[in-house]
Chains A and B, each alone.
Chain A
């Protein structure tokens, strides 16, 4: 499978716990994006990387959220001290600027905070 993959697909956690999600982009893609989507809404941009550099971070992203992309390959998104309002689908996408920057999305990680 050469698409974007995300792990885990579902995560249930208790309020106050830390969670970490992983995204593996399409191998030749140099850009990687994280989004959050709640029911009935379009995805909301969180942050993006070009290679290993984090170039943009939404003002809506609290300091409990951190993302990394070591070596410009896979990326992790960590949420510390989870709150019920963090419950959402977390989507990852990748693109290659030289190929027109079309974003290809993974299946998402659904987070439920109890």
Chain B
């Protein structure tokens, strides 16, 4: 059974800092890994999707990496802004379903 873990559970940084969010998974037989952000009381917004054959994806200030062999992914956020404050979730899709981590709650202080 796939288990997805995100560390840390919460993170607070001053505006302008670069930061890294971590995601680990137990079964490397995945189709893809997706990073989402979720604002309080809202649905999920897809940020980046990395196929199992890829090592990284970039979108603006965001860069996500994937190391299947070690069961790890990182989301790098450059030059953080208060508007980046949200919960960031990673999700791993395998042959059966998509499993989510519990998320990292990010606060960027002005």
- Which A residues fall within an 8 A CB radius of B? 4, 33, 40-45, 48, 56, 58, 91, 93, 100-108, 110
Contact = CB atoms under 8 A, between A and B. Distances in A.
B43 A107 contact: yes
- The size class of the interface chain B forms with chain A is 20 to 34
Interface of B: 4, 31-32, 34, 36, 41-46, 49, 51, 89, 91, 93, 96-103
Nearest to B51: A100
Nearest to A93: B44
Nearest to B99: A45
Contacts of B91: 42-43, 103
Main secondary structure of the interface of A (DSSP, over half): loop
B91 to A, nearest CB: 7
Identify the 6 closest CB pairs spanning chains A and B, nearest first. A42-B100, A105-B44, A45-B97, A105-B43, A107-B43, A102-B49
B97 A103 contact: no
A49 to B, nearest CB: 13
Name the residue in B49, B51, B101 with the highest tally of chain A Cβ atoms < 10 Å from its Cβ: B49
Contacts of B51: 100
A48 B34 contact: no
A58 B97 contact: yes
B104 to A, nearest CB: 11
A40 B102 contact: yes
29 contacts: A4-B43, A41-B102, A42-B89, A42-B91, A42-B100, A42-B102, A43-B44, A43-B91, A44-B100, A45-B97, A45-B98, A48-B97, A56-B96, A91-B43, A91-B44, A93-B44, A100-B32, A100-B51, A101-B31, A101-B93, A102-B34, A102-B49, A103-B98, A104-B46, A105-B36, A105-B44, A107-B42, A107-B43, A108-B42
